[in-house]
Amino acid sequence: MDNIELVKKLQDDKNNLYKEISKIIIGQNNVIEHLFISLLCKGHVLLEGVPGLAKTLLIKTLSDAMDLSFNRIQFTPDLMPSDITGTEIIDENQKTGKREFKFFKGPIFSNIVLADEINRTPPKTQAALLESMQEHKVTAGGTSYTLEAPFFVLATQNPIEQEGTYPLPEAQLDRFMFNLLISYPSRDEEVSIVKSTTATNKITIDKVLSANDLFNYQELVKNVPVSDNVVEYAVDFVNSTRTSNQDAPSPTSDWLEWGAGPRASMYLILGAKAKALLDGRTTPEIADVKHMVGPVLRHRIIPNFNAEADGINRDDILTKLLEINS
């Protein structure tokens, strides 16, 4: 199958996937699109939203519509690293009768891992998960175990309750491709939600995307050509968030403590490639890069005290920078 046919097949699979998800999830089309883009780019996602907005249900529905294994880990203050990665126990060898250590795999050994309320567990346990995200392997007893591909971590956290939580350090946040914000549904969407959740209809989700399909689409994204001006725009935009830049625009110098690193530029281009393919185009435009700015950069910039005093949040700063870099 050539790339043109593969792009057409991606269009069909995208429509079928969105159709299956819409059986359960009403609205949140932008979030669903970015989740699919992250899968195509081998990225991980951090979802933020107040309780009751179906963050967990959305991720579970996404996994149900794909022929991939799924595990959910509920993060709590007493969760240990071995509860995620697995543990070694002494087991008797049935053939030799000798006792030996045997590794039992933890819930991290899955294609899609839902890390629910990741900020409720101590840094030591967070680090165990984030190491697996980066290296795609787990080490126990001096032996490394490779995680099965494809491997995606979709983490959630509640932005309201901060007592008893452990905020993710900036270096660990940087390992997430996207930081997606889930907002309240519109009035009409909420009416539909209430009607569907209070009825007795049992909804079945069909699997419409296989692991092999996903591998093919991931390779397709890598092979998408990008013009120099699009790459330069992404790099220049990320550079404009850095206070060390002598030509930094006023929103950066006035409101930012730290800007984004090179990984942001990489994810802007990867995301733009996937966005172009999902729209049926064979190469991304600057508009695709702009579409990725919020999800890619909002967790990679650090506002200073002036921004807090002025009531300016990260999205406000990015919006100002987009206006300057239009």
Segment 90-143, tens digit of pLDDT: 777 777 777 777 788 889 999 999 998 888 888 888 888 877 888 888 887 777
71-98 pLDDT per residue, tens? 999 998 899 988 898 888 877 777 777 7
Answer yes or no: is pLDDT of 305 > 90. Answer: yes
- Residue with the larger pLDDT of the pair 281 and 326: 281
Residue 262: predicted pLDDT:
93
* CA-based torsion, 167, 169, 175, 177: positive or negative: positive
Task: Please give the Cα distance from 315 to 155 (Å, whole number).
Answer: 20
Residue 256 pLDDT class (50, 70, 90 cuts): very high
Residue 161: predicted pLDDT:
64
What percentage of the chain reaches a pLDDT higher than 70?
A: 98
Q: Report yes or no: 209 and 12 within 8 Å, Cβ to Cβ.
A: no
Residue 29: predicted pLDDT:
86
User: Taking residues 284-308, what's their average pLDDT?
Assistant: 94
Task: Please give the Cα distance from 89 to 103 (Å, whole number).
Answer: 7
User: Taking residues 267-271, what's their average pLDDT?
Assistant: 96
pTM: 0.90
Distances (CA, A) of 93 to 86, 102, 176, 257: 19, 9, 41, 57
Q: Report yes or no: 46 and 170 within 8 Å, Cβ to Cβ.
A: no
Per the structure block, which two tokens stand in for 326? 């239009």
Residue 51: predicted pLDDT:
77
Q: Report yes or no: 296 and 264 within 8 Å, Cβ to Cβ.
A: yes
Distances (CA, A) of 95 to 90, 98, 99, 191, 315: 15, 8, 11, 62, 61
Instruction: Catalogue all structural domains in the chain, each as residue range(s) with its CATH number.
Output: 28-185 (3.40.50.300), 224-324 (1.10.8.80)
Per the structure block, which two tokens stand in for 31? 């979030």
Residue among 215, 195, 197, 196 at smallest CA distance from 152: 215
Residue 314: predicted pLDDT:
93
Average pLDDT, the chain: 88
Q: What are the helix (H) ranges across 136-209?
A: 170-173, 187-197
Name which of 64-68, 112-116, 159-163 the model is least confident about: 159-163
Answer yes or no: is pLDDT of 69 > 90. Answer: no
Task: Please give the Cα distance from 88 to 108 (Å, whole number).
Answer: 15
Residue among 128, 129, 158, 142 at smallest CA distance from 47: 158
Q: Report yes or no: 41 and 221 within 8 Å, Cβ to Cβ.
A: yes
Task: Please give the Cα distance from 18 to 29 (Å, whole number).
Answer: 8
Per the structure block, which two tokens stand in for 297? 């950069």
Percent helix, strand, coil in the chain (nearest 5)? 45, 15, 35
Residue among 67, 86, 294, 303 at smallest CA distance from 181: 294
